[in-house]
Structure 1
């Protein structure tokens, strides 16, 4: 795949983008442009299809780790009746020092046998926060008195989660789950180092 913006992407990353069959030249070019001359230290490609009435809409995310940044690329289809197909691609460059949290959640089958072949990670979630998006979950506040009818206001949580990627073995395969775990670990280590 030709690259017009800097050194070629690693062959394995280019192959994964191509295998998704979803505007591979556009996506590879956008990621290469955002990366510039920096070395690729890790990556994760996530292809997701969603159903909207009788249509399938595709979304592709590419996460790329460089020595100084996390690059996040998103590409979506944009179809309108009677119009040519369009794609919207966005790349965001996040300095590693701005990444405030990297959470890896794993769903393990047969956890009592962890460390053997019986136990498997069947689903993994990567949640990354860098302060662009915040979510507030509010609930009515309660007191310990079950007969109390007073208004105690609200209580809640403020979550810093700019991106969540969920990969399951059933939908994406065990190798893809392992790739998400490896990328998450790389990112946790990279953002934990004082620069």
Structure 2
């Protein structure tokens, strides 16, 4: 991606490169931005394993001027063959001045050899604004192994905002650098909004 591409073009390319329902993610973000233009962004796809199943989800943080958009999408198989799939999408948009806590943590390998500008191996961002509750849903299980009835959904709705962890080992050096760049831009926007 060349340096002179727009922030929107870079966001689109990163979401497409993530290869996790890119058109759905892009449509969701465009709708949530409601005409605002992105200034910087960060995209993370995570994979985790639950017994015999593989689960993936994508989180996109988009800074658009003084507004932060948090978009999250995960999918769920409704049958064992994976033929019936549903995607759960949530978005939240807030003014950066509403962020009450913004914590950025970095991990540096071999700190005894640190030189200014050395790359980080991990970036963690915790953002709190006492926003909406996150829903963590899954199909309700029945203790009867021969039961094939639909028992609905069960899950948790913890009151938390967002914690994102990007590591060079799992996500790549470029993603870690992008997370650091995003954190700097968000911190600057947050400090500027707070000084008014």
Task: Give the shorter-chain TM-score range.
Answer: 0.7 to 0.9
1:33 match: 31
TM-score (norm 2): 0.76
Quote the Cα distance in structure 2 between the aligned partners of 1:167 and 1:111: 19
- Per-residue deviation at 1:133? 7.1
2:145 match: none
* CA shift in 2, pair 1:9/1:84, >3 Å: farther
In structure 2, the residue corresponding to 1:39 is in which secondary structure? coil
Mapping for residues 105-120 of structure 1, pairs under 5 Å: 105-115=105-115, 120=119
- Residue-pair matches, total: 162
The structure number with the bigger radius of gyration is 1
- Per-residue deviation at 1:189? 0.8
Q: Is the 8 A contact 2:120 2:176 kept in 1?
A: yes
User: 5+ unaligned residues in a row in structure 1: which ranges?
Assistant: 1-7, 135-159
| Two-structure CA RMSD over aligned residues (Å) | 2.2
- Per-residue deviation at 1:68? 2.4
Please give the per-residue CA displacement for 1:106-139, whole angstroms capped at 9, x wherever unaligned: 110121222268x5411110111112379xxxxx
Mapping for residues 36-185 of structure 1, pairs under 5 Å: 36-81=34-79, 84-115=84-115, 120-132=119-131, 162-185=161-184
TM-score (norm 1): 0.76
Quote the Cα distance in structure 2 between the aligned partners of 1:121 and 1:42: 20
